[in-house]
Structure 1
Amino acid sequence: MTDFERRGMPVEIRAKGRRLEGYAATFGTPADIGGRFTETIAAGAFSGALRSNGDVLALVDHDPSRVLARTRSRTLRLAEDSRGLAFDLDLPDTQAGKDVLALAERGDLGGMSFAFTPLDEKMDGNRRELRAVQLHEISVVLAWPAYGGTVINLRSLSSSSPFRAYSERALRLLELSK
């Protein structure tokens, strides 16, 4: 997996259980990509990826040896709404899961990130709009995420709402090196 792009963002945490939820990406907010261009994500950009039945992973810091959840096992649930790519995941009883839980309870998580391959994009001068992407994974970022705008909450498994409304923030994208 070396031929895709990554984006990341800081998060907001509320500790109430063993479930994380929030947004891995938000729509329509301009982001400066390393001073090279401004990028936005169009509403619906993830819809094809979500319909494809592909297995999307939830990782810690993009590390495939630290899997938190995956769509194939239904421990990771993804959905698009009017705000962006919402996620809801069950934290495992593994060292990685315990570490994320401990940091979430303290409010010490750095943010969220996602890895993707652009499938449909529009370039207009120094503006890029992502219209469709292939989603590979989302990641909890422990230290310094690349951009702002997502929200993540820690909540109990018994909570009835899988996706809740979150405070608005600007989404600032920064391309990570491969």
Structure 2
Amino acid sequence: MTNLTRYSVQCRAQLDGNTLVGHAAVFGQMAKVGNGYEQLSERAFEDVLKLPDSDVTSLWNHDPQYLLGRQSAGTLRVRADSEGLAFENDLPDTSYANDLRVLLARGDITGASFGFIPDLDKSTWTRAADGSQIHTINGIKYLRDVSPVTFPAYSGAGVALRSYDFGQPSGRSQLILARARVTSRRGSR
């Protein structure tokens, strides 16, 4: 059985509005994982973001008790761009989201992360100069969450609280959201 993996990326926070935007993953950066390294190729999110049953969530520190947004509800939008996995999260008016706003404004929360299951059939392995293994993830089977986190592992991604327009969902995106709502009601994976 394949385990859920979580990566973290360093980010800088800026308070300006009620929407958390940034990158939960960045392409081409190495992360030390166990005795080796891992990195994401620019193709990593191509297939998973097209899945009709995709229902990514935003969680504070990957904790499902602190739900911040959900793709199927339209309060979380994710997409791949030239930098990595971009997200936009309309934060709820809850006590924990308000606490998160304060921590972001103070600079106490400085990271973002994502939880996923890699497609090992699309992965490649090479060796680093020090002899350690480098795992390049070229595809992801399942994208579970994008999350602001306390302890990031990657550097290079940014997040901010501000008003930002990702645009209206396309007809295909609306279909994906509708299918995700139906699938999520059937039970979790």
Q: TM-score, normalised by structure 1?
A: 0.82
Two-structure CA RMSD over aligned residues (Å): 1.7
Following TM superposition, by how much is the alpha carbon of 1:112 offset from its aligned partner in structure 2, in angstroms?
A: 0.5
* 1:30-89 Cα deviation digits (max 9, x unpaired): 22223x222210002112111113100000011011100011011111111111000011
Following TM superposition, by how much is the alpha carbon of 1:131 offset from its aligned partner in structure 2, in angstroms?
A: 0.4
5 Å matches for 1:54-69? 54-69=54-69
Q: State the alpha-carbon separation in 1 of the partners of residues 20 and 28 from structure 2.
A: 24
How many residue pairs get matched?
Answer: 157
For 1:25, give the aligned amino acid.
A
Query: Which structure has greater helix proportion?
Result: 2
Which residue is 1:28 aligned to?
28
Following TM superposition, by how much is the alpha carbon of 1:161 offset from its aligned partner in structure 2, in angstroms?
A: 6.1
Which residue is 2:38 aligned to?
39
Which residue is 2:153 aligned to?
146
Residue 73 of structure 2: SS of its match in structure 1?
Answer: coil
5 Å matches for 1:158-177? 159-160=164-165
Q: What fraction of aligned residue pairs are identical, expressed as a percent?
A: 36
- Segment drifting more, 132-141 vs 118-127: 118-127
Show structure 1 runs of 5+ residues with no match. 163-178
Q: State the alpha-carbon separation in 1 of the partners of residues 75 and 112 from structure 2.
A: 17
Show structure 2 runs of 5+ residues with no match. 128-132, 168-189
Q: TM-score, normalised by structure 2?
A: 0.77
Bigger CA radius of gyration: 2
Q: State the alpha-carbon separation in 2 of the partners of residues 86 and 12 from structure 1.
A: 14
Query: Which structure has greater strand proportion?
Result: 1
